[in-house]
């Protein structure tokens, strides 16, 4: 994230680029799509796997959503399926932490979650876009209750340590000043014929009228203090009743500070395809999706299996694993085919007998680092004091954002905030701290946005994905070049082994990627199996 103090005043070209991001995020969408981070998904329905030879054996490695879905659909088609899982729980990265849970990470640190009954944090996935139809289909099929997830809240905060004296400002205030000044500039440029090379004479009046209505400008085309602007950004004294009910308009922030702050990037964030409303979450915690999948295939899953080798020949696959529930006894499973959903940083360290190109592809995709902070407070002060109900506040600090719970609004007693969500260098910094230090740093940074933090804080947890031994990171970190060189190989069947997981999709870092990759993998496997090769 760029330091706002290093940013120069935007040129007209940059300004129009920002308008493009806000009015229609096609450019950003195209760029994100090339890296596999934002895609309208291509789910068309469950696969049709007809003609399977009864008794054909498939071993599935990993019981995350990709693995469990593969097991579910393959068994339904007539295959004999067995699932091996490293952890003592199924669900993979679909995980929710509640009071009484423990988190043990590499390095020996163990955290015991102290949340009050009913409170939770989702350290992995935490929201579902409306267009992730594959995941939504199976949630519905497996009886997983969903509710709206509030992504955008106009009363949340935008914060930069380098703007507005380091004080947070309301999203509605900043966003509408940004829109207002943008419309003001374009309106003036039209009047001064500065845009004649891109706007025809017939178009001028329409564009000017659009800017006036979109930005809330005065009749003269200006963004300035008054009732019209205050009906968007909020009043200095709110509208009321009785003799003293007249509102007092608010003063817009200065145009220079609005444009130089860099906070406009957080407005653009909500225009990304994968962040647009409507979004959903499972009622009671994200792991209820995993539980819904588990109900379908629990009898196929063997837990505490540490896979050490995956060998194959033209006749089948042999998987060797340590049975951690029985003294690390070495055991093997023989199957005709294998669906492997083991996270790539772990898989790259195993004795896996695949082609050189597939080995290179597995090694070419590291997992990104991510850290989430779950902070419980004695009361829901963000609602009671600041009228923030759901949504996200953003900051240029390392914690990046604070997300307010979409469930339990108006409830009494303690509440849990997502007190930080970090990727990249910031996540590595936090992963290098002890869990207690992560929470403390989250409190320090969050206090610049909410002064109640210290007084109301109860307990917290800091979850670092790079320190989880069963995944060694958050999700696949493809580069455009790596995808060009290795994606097709990674997602193709290698003799009798096929990979699945969010890393084997163009919907990286989302549960939908796990769903779509799983369906693609078992379809490929099925074609191979019924083809008799």
The 10s digit of each residue's pLDDT in 434-447 is 999 999 999 999 99
- Candidates 360, 393, 396, 398; CA nearest to 261 is 396
Tell me the HSE value of 166 on the side-chain side, using a 13 A CA sphere. Answer: 7
| Residue 285 Cα distances to 98, 282, 457, angstroms | 9, 6, 22
Residue 472 lies in a domain: no
Q: Beta-carbon neighbour count of residue 113 at 10 Å?
A: 21
The whole-number pLDDT of residue 40 equals 57
Residue 2 lies in a domain: no
Residue 241 lies in a domain: yes
How far, in Å, CA of 186 to CA of 475, rounded? 42
Q: Are residues 359 and 505 in the same domain?
A: yes
120 class by beta-carbon count within 10 Å (0-12 exposed, 13-18 middle, 19+ buried): buried
The whole-number pLDDT of residue 42 equals 82
Beta carbons within 8 Å of 197's beta carbon, 6+ residues apart: none
SS3 525: helix
The whole-number pLDDT of residue 388 equals 98
Q: How confident is the model at residue 36 (pLDDT cuts 50, 70, 90)?
A: very low
Residue 107 lies in a domain: yes
Cβ atoms of residues 165 and 151 within 8 Å: no
Cβ atoms of residues 23 and 499 within 8 Å: no
Residue 39 lies in a domain: no
Q: What is the CATH number of the domain that holds 355?
A: 3.50.50.60
**Domain end residue (candidates: 427, 442, 467):** 467
* Position 532 pLDDT exceeds 90: no
pTM listed for this prediction: 0.90
Q: Are residues 359 and 405 in the same domain?
A: no
Cβ atoms of residues 448 and 159 within 8 Å: yes
Edge-to-edge strand ranges of the sheet holding 497-499:
301-302, 80-84, 57-61, 337-340, 497-499
Q: Are residues 179 and 209 in the same domain?
A: yes
Q: Beta-carbon neighbour count of residue 480 at 10 Å?
A: 11
How far, in Å, CA of 38 to CA of 40, rounded? 7
The model's pLDDT over 133-188, given as tens digits with 9 standing for 90+, comes to 999 999 999 999 999 999 999 999 999 999 999 999 999 999 999 999 999 999 99
Q: What is the CATH number of the domain that holds 382?
A: 3.90.660.10
Tokens standing for 527?
Answer: 């074609």
Q: What is the CATH number of the domain that holds 195?
A: 1.20.1440.240
Q: Are residues 360 and 489 in the same domain?
A: yes
Tokens standing for 18?
Answer: 């920002």
Q: Are residues 447 and 483 in the same domain?
A: no
Q: Are residues 381 and 451 in the same domain?
A: yes
Q: Are residues 376 and 325 in the same domain?
A: no
Task: State how many domains the chain has.
Answer: 3
- Enumerate helices (H) and strands (E) in the chain, giving the number of each: 18, 23
Q: Are residues 454 and 380 in the same domain?
A: yes
Cβ atoms of residues 248 and 235 within 8 Å: yes
Which stretches of 21-101 are assigned E, i.e. beta strand?
57-61, 80-84, 97-98
The alpha-carbon radius of gyration of the chain (Å, integer) is 26
The model's pLDDT over 303-361, given as tens digits with 9 standing for 90+, comes to 999 999 999 999 999 999 999 999 999 999 999 999 999 999 999 999 999 999 999 99
- Candidates 121, 477, 75; CA nearest to 298 is 75
Q: Are residues 310 and 438 in the same domain?
A: no
Residue 32 lies in a domain: no
* Position 373 pLDDT exceeds 50: yes
Beta carbons within 8 Å of 373's beta carbon, 6+ residues apart: 399, 418, 419, 420, 421, 438, 439, 442, 460, 461, 462, 463
* Position 27 pLDDT exceeds 70: no
How far, in Å, CA of 250 to CA of 271, rounded? 27
How far, in Å, CA of 212 to CA of 362, rounded? 53
Q: Are residues 394 and 446 in the same domain?
A: yes
Name the residue with tokens 């320090």: 444
The per-residue pLDDT of the chain, averaged, comes to 92
Residue 71 lies in a domain: yes
* Higher-scoring residue by pLDDT: 20, 514: 514
Q: Which residue stretches of 169-200 are H helix?
A: 171-191
Q: Are residues 87 and 139 in the same domain?
A: no
**Domain end residue (candidates: 414, 438, 467):** 467
The whole-number pLDDT of residue 193 equals 93
The whole-number pLDDT of residue 41 equals 79
Which stretches of 232-275 are assigned E, i.e. beta strand?
none
* Position 76 pLDDT exceeds 70: yes
Q: Are residues 372 and 501 in the same domain?
A: no
Ranges 41-45, 248-252, 387-391, 493-497: which has the least confidence: 41-45
**Domain end residue (candidates: 416, 444, 467):** 467
Tokens standing for 43?
Answer: 């789910």
User: Domain range for residue 300?
Assistant: 57-91+288-364+477-530
How far, in Å, CA of 442 to CA of 238, rounded? 33
Residue 8 lies in a domain: no
């Amino acid at each position: 994230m760029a330091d706002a103090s290093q940013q120069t005043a935007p040129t007209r070209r940059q300004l129009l680029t920002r308008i493009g991001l806000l009015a229609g995020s096609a450019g950003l969408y195209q760029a994100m799509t090339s890296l596999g981070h934002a895609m309208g998904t291509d789910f068309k329905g469950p696969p049709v796997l007809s003609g399977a030879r009864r008794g054909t054996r498939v071993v599935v490695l990993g019981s995350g959503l990709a693995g469990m879905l593969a097991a579910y659909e393959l068994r339904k088609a007539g295959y004999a399926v067995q699932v091996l899982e490293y952890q003592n729980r199924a669900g993979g990265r679909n995980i929710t932490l509640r009071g009484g849970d423990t988190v043990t990470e590499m390095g020996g640190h163990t955290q015991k979650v102290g949340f009050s009954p009913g409170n939770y944090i989702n350290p992995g996935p935490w929201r579902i876009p409306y267009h992730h139809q594959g995941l939504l289909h199976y949630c519905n099929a497996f009886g997983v209750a969903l509710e709206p997830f509030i992504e955008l809240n106009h009363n949340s905060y935008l914060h930069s340590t380098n703007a507005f004296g380091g004080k947070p400002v309301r999203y509605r205030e900043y966003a509408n000043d940004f829109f207002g000044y943008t419309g003001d500039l374009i309106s003036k440029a039209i009047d001064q014929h500065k845009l004649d090379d891109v706007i025809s004479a017939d178009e001028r009046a329409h564009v000017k009228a659009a800017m006036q209505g979109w930005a809330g400008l005065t009749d003269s085309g200006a963004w300035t203090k008054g009732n019209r602007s205050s009906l968007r950004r909020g009043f200095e004294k709110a509208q009321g009743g009785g003799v003293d009910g007249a509102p007092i308009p608010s003063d817009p922030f200065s145009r220079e500070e609005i444009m130089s702050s860099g906070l406009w990037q957080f407005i653009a964030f909500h225009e990304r395809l994968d962040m647009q409303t409507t979004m959903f979450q499972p009622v009671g915690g994200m792991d209820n999706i995993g539980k819904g999948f588990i109900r379908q295939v629990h009898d196929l899953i063997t837990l505490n299996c540490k896979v050490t080798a995956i060998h194959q020949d033209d006749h089948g696959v042999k998987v060797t694993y340590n049975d951690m529930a029985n003294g690390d006894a070495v055991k093997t499973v023989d199957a005709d085919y294998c669906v492997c959903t083991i996270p790539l940083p772990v898989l790259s360290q195993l004795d896996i007998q695949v082609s050189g190109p597939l080995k290179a592809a597995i090694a070419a995709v590291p997992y990104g680092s991510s850290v989430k902070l779950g902070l419980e407070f004695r009361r829901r002060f963000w609602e009671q004091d600041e009228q923030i109900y759901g949504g996200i506040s953003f900051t240029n600090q390392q914690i990046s954002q604070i997300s307010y719970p979409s469930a339990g609004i108006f409830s009494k007693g303690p509440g849990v905030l997502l007190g930080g969500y970090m990727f990249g260098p910031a996540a590595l910094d936090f992963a290098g701290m002890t869990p207690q230090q992560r929470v403390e740093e989250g409190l320090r940074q969050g206090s610049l946005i909410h002064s109640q933090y210290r007084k109301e804080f109860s307990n917290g947890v800091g979850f670092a994905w790079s320190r989880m031994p069963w995944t060694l990171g958050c999700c696949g970190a493809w580069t455009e070049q790596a995808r060009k060189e290795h994606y097709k190989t990674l997602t193709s069947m290698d003799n009798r082994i096929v990979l699945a997981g969010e890393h084997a999709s163009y919907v990286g870092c989302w549960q939908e990627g796990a769903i779509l990759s799983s369906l693609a993998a078992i379809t490929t496997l099925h074609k191979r199996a019924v083809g008799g090769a």
